[in-house]
Amino acid sequence: MPAKVDLAAGKLPIDATFGVASDTDARLAPAVKRFLARVARQTGIFPAPSGTAATLHIACAPCTARPVLGEDESYQLDVTPSGANLKAATVSGALHGMETFLQLIQPGPEGFQVPAVHIADQPRFAWRGLMLDCARHFPPVEVIERNLDAMAAVKLNVFHWHLSDDQGFRAESKLYPKLQQFGSDGNFYTQDQMREVVAYAAARGIRVVPEFDIPGHTLSWLVGYPELAAGTGPFEIGRHFGVFDPVLDPTREETYTFLDGFIGEMAALFPDPFFHVGGDEVNGKAWKQSEQVQSFAKAHNLNDTLALQTYFNQRILKILQKYGKNMVGWDEIFGPDLPRDAVIQSWRGADSLATAAGKGYRGILSAGYYLDHARPAAYHYAVDPLAGPAAQLTPEQAAHILGGEACMWSELVDAETVDSRVWPRTAAIAERFWSARELTDVDSMYARMEAVSRQLEWTGVTHRSSYGEMLGRLAGARPVEPLRVLADASEARGLGTGRRAKDTETPLNRFVDAARPESEMVRHLELAARKADPADLTTLRGVFEVWAANDVRFQALAEDNALLEEVRPLSKDLSTLGVMGLQILDYLGSGKPAPADWLTAQSKELTRIARPSAEVLLAGTRPVKILLDALAKR
């Protein structure tokens, strides 16, 4: 939602004569080309080769070669029935304006069109990011790139690239090739690919902040370089998840020599001045067990794990400064003597963010934006970087809060499923970072999110198309329809909300992987159940009839199919739910009250059905509950 929108009368038609005239700029020119290709994809109309008029004029001064934190991202878009003007101070602003223009293209009475409108827009926060964990499961470059396109579409401007963790080292080092040779199972990004991703992102107004998580979460480093460890190897790539004991040894000079070389090498690949060093979840066990570490600690008065990590951070900080980088780290880096140019990423809660800001540290919020928890978009939308403890800050202190990042940890997503876990929910988080804090109406957010979700398909992300393919795989040679009916009414649970993550080798090909974290269809049914107009009740009846009849068909489909075995009870419950829904509608239609014991029995049954099964929630219980509550109130 833009900061300021004034609709005017009339429409600008988008047809084969559509064209763009723009100021010349090394980043703007290819962006205009991509923009025209998007117009073509969205409308199916390709500019006539005979030449096109300049319908949209884009003005923006020549800019830096890449986006910069805090640059002026504002834009003004004026559309009239005869043409459109887009003005911005920077290429980033112009890119945002072009995305807004694309969102405005809709079919209308004379074909595709953009409404006449004046928009003056700018973001609330300067740091609007998405973190992708590419260590626990490895997404090839094409997955990264299509997600960068989708990020640009919702005006996110930071790609936080989590490149190493216990389960994999994903960046090619030429200085220390055993990092990827022994730590990646062959799944890593070459230096050329990393340069390509950085350029691809910059072209779309997105900064790339690489993360190499140290001194913990480093098992994959230690396979090739066991000498870096506090304690002795051999080490193996982590296959399971959680916090592992082995960590880097902060007391040996060789560790810092290694890291100096490595960070120097990576700093040259990633031009952004921010460099993420992780720093989370060091349990200290390996340090306590190491004589070398303990004697060093005693000699230097480093009394506990925190003191040791602070010492480590101080050393790393000097290395980063040498290469002109600002340190970014998770909550845990916030210790005494942390220099003021460091940036804290809060994942354990908003308190640490506010505390740090109060002390003059810059911070970004990620607590509340964990996509792997598979929570509804409304949950994330309600989280604001300036709410809660941050609301008590002075304006000057609050200004240290740069924004936030959605986090996609990859215990339970792979290249096939990651898009459907990131999108469309991240669009709601992106709006939280961009738009007014006062914008909190959930229904209107969902209306926008659904429209954006459909538009995101044109950027190449597969959050919608992979659904049918994955269901088709589960159905095998049999007709998929009963499975789709069940999946449409289901929601996948996430890490910490009912889903277990076993190890990196467990296939992510189950029903729960195909099902979405949030069902658009069920949300529509909830709206219908709340409104309960005659047309709504007809819609609900139709759906309940399908549910009621579905189990017979589903059980035939699931016969002799090990992959569907676990959701057979879920299917049975869906049909129960359908029958219950029909009975409630009958009572509502008859105008007669339902017997109290019948109501109690249904309520009990609903509670049972609402419990997760096969790591999935039968979201279809929600509209039925709304109707049952309405009936009970009569």
Q: What positions carry a catalytic annotation?
A: 281
Give me the helix-helix angle, 534-558 and 520-531, nearest 10°. Answer: 140
Q: Which stretch binds a copy of itself (CB under 8 A): 2-10, 110-118, 202-210, 569-577?
A: 110-118
Q: How far is the CB of 296 from a copy of itself (least distance, A)?
A: 36
Single-letter amino acid, residue 286: A
Give whichever of 545 and 629 is closer to a copy of itself, judged by the CB atom. Answer: 545
Question: For a copy of itself, which residue of 24, 70, 110, 597 counts as binding (CB under 8 A)?
Answer: 110
Residue 51 binding a copy of itself, by CB under 8 A:
no
In angstroms, the CA 603 to CA 367 distance is 34
Q: In the complex with a copy of itself, which residue's Cβ is closer, 550 or 602?
A: 550
Task: Give yes or no for residue 344 binding a copy of itself (CB under 8 A).
Answer: no
Q: Which stretch binds a copy of itself (CB under 8 A): 60-68, 103-111, 399-407, 614-622?
A: 103-111
Candidates 94, 134, 474, 616; binder of a copy of itself (CB under 8 A) is 474
Least Å distance between CB 297 and a copy of itself? 37
Q: Min. distance of Cβ 323 from a copy of itself in angstroms?
A: 33
Is there a contact between 176 and 121 (Cβ–Cβ < 8 Å)?
Answer: no
Tokens of 184: 């990646």
User: Judged by CB under 8 A, which of 289, 295, 538, 600 binds a copy of itself?
Assistant: 538
Strand 56-60, strand 20-22: pairing? parallel
Q: Give the nearest distance from C-beta 275 to a copy of itself in angstroms.
A: 29
Nearest CB to a copy of itself, comparing residues 350 and 564:
564
Residue 302 main-chain phi, psi, to 5 deg: -100, 95
Count residues near a copy of itself (CB under 8 A): 55
CB of 570 to a copy of itself, least distance (A): 17
Q: Which residue in the set 150, 393, 470, 616 belongs to the binding site for a copy of itself (CB under 8 A)?
A: 470
Residue 337 half-sphere exposure toward CB, CA atoms < 13 A: 12
* Distance, C-alpha 511 to centroid of its chain: 21
Is 106 an interacting residue with respect to a copy of itself (CB under 8 A)?
A: yes
For residue 73, the minimal CB distance to a copy of itself (Å) is: 25
The answer to whether the CB of 117 falls within 8 A of the CB of 79 is yes
Applying CB under 8 A, which part among 120-128, 422-430, 545-553, 584-592 lies near a copy of itself?
A: 545-553
Name the DSSP letter for residue 27.
T
Q: Which is nearer to a copy of itself, 244 or 330 (CB)?
A: 244
Transcribe 241-292 into DSSP letters.
-S--S--B-TT-HHHHHHHHHHHHHHHHH--SSEEE--------HHHHH-HH
Torsion of CA 209, 162, 517, 382, to 10 degrees: -40
Work out how close the CB of 505 gets to a copy of itself at its nearest, in angstroms, rounded to a whole number: 5
Find the shortest distance in angstroms from Cβ 271 to a copy of itself: 30
Half-sphere exposure of 292 (CA within 13 A, CB side): 13
Cα–Cα separations (whole angstroms), residue 65 to 59, 179, 201, 203: 17, 31, 12, 9
Interface residue with a copy of itself among 146, 472, 579, 605 (CB under 8 A) is 472
- Cβ proximity to a copy of itself, 47 vs 273, nearer residue: 47
C-beta separation of 179 from 65 below 8 A: no
Site residues for a copy of itself, window 488-517 (CB under 8 A)? 505, 507-509, 513
* CA angle, 191 then 195 then 197, to 5°: 115
Work out how close the CB of 106 gets to a copy of itself at its nearest, in angstroms, rounded to a whole number: 4
Smaller CB separation from a copy of itself, 74 or 417 = 417
Q: Which range touches a copy of itself (CB under 8 A), out of 82-90, 107-115, 144-152, 386-394?
A: 107-115
The CA distance from 517 to 424, in Å, is 10
* Contact pattern for a copy of itself over residues 209 through 248, marking x by CB under 8 A: ----------------------------x-----------
Is 37 an interacting residue with respect to a copy of itself (CB under 8 A)? no
Of residues 87, 178, 473, 484, which one binds a copy of itself by CB under 8 A? 473
Least separation in angstroms between CB 552 and a copy of itself: 8
Q: Say whether residue 518 binds a copy of itself (CB under 8 A).
A: no
> CB-wise, 77 or 483, nearer to a copy of itself?
483
Measured CA distances, 296 to 256, 283, 319, 536 (Å): 15, 18, 21, 71
Residue 185 or 260 with smaller CB distance to a copy of itself: 185
* Closest distance of CB 162 from a copy of itself, Å: 20
Cβ–Cβ < 8 Å for 88, 123: no
Q: Which residues pair with 118 in a beta bridge?
A: 6, 78
82 near a copy of itself, judged by CB under 8 A: no
User: Can you tell me which of 9, 299, 477, 596 binds a copy of itself, judged by CB under 8 A?
Assistant: 477
**Run of H or E residues at 409:** none
Q: What phi-psi label fits residue 44: left (phi over 0), alpha (psi between -120 and 50 degrees) or beta?
A: left
Say how many CA atoms lie within 13 Å of 438 toward its Cβ: 2
Angle between helix 596-609 and helix 568-590 axes, rounded to 10 deg: 150
CA-CA-CA-CA torsion sign (41, 44, 50, 52): negative
The reply to whether 30 sits near a copy of itself by the rule CB under 8 A is no
User: Binding to a copy of itself by residue 534, rule CB under 8 A?
Assistant: no
Q: For 59, phi and psi rounded to 5 degrees?
A: -120, 125
Q: Strands, DSSP E only, in 331-408?
A: 343-346, 362-365, 401-408
* Residue found by looking up tokens 């589903």 in the block: 554
In the region spanning residues 410 to 469, those forming contacts with a copy of itself, defined by CB under 8 A, are 414, 416, 451, 454, 457-458, 464-465, 468-469
Interface contacts to a copy of itself, rule CB under 8 A: 16, 41-46, 48-50, 106-112, 185-186, 237, 414, 416, 451, 454, 457-458, 464-465, 468-470, 472-477, 479-480, 505, 507-509, 513, 524, 538, 542, 545-546, 549, 560-564
